[in-house]
Amino acid sequence: MMDVRALPCAVKHGLIVKTCQDLAVGEHFILWNSHDPVPLRQQLTNHWPGAFAWQYLVQGPEEFQIRITKLKALATEAAPAALNCGDH
């Protein structure tokens, strides 16, 4: 489980993306966050379409746990250029 609730946004997104990139196809990790990481999910989906599955295990309002599974090899290893937390 990756608990990123206490991390600043600037650190958290890079760590999550790196973890996603490092997964082998078929592997997953559980992300534990204090808000729904919709902006991050959209950025990853736009950059690597169909590469990750997100399954909510706990869905708010104060805690979110999401199983992120790597479904296929990434077309490019470079992370999305603009990673931000949206309004968080």
So what's the pLDDT on residue 75? 83
Rounded to an integer, what distance in angstroms lies between the CA atom of residue 88 and that of residue 55? 21
Mean pLDDT for back-to-back runs of 10 residues, the chain (88 residues) = 93 93 97 95 93 97 97 82 57
So what's the pLDDT on residue 76? 74
So what's the pLDDT on residue 9? 84
Q: What is the pTM of this model?
A: 0.88
- Please report the domains of the chain, with CATH numbers, ordered by start residue: 2-70 (3.30.110.40)
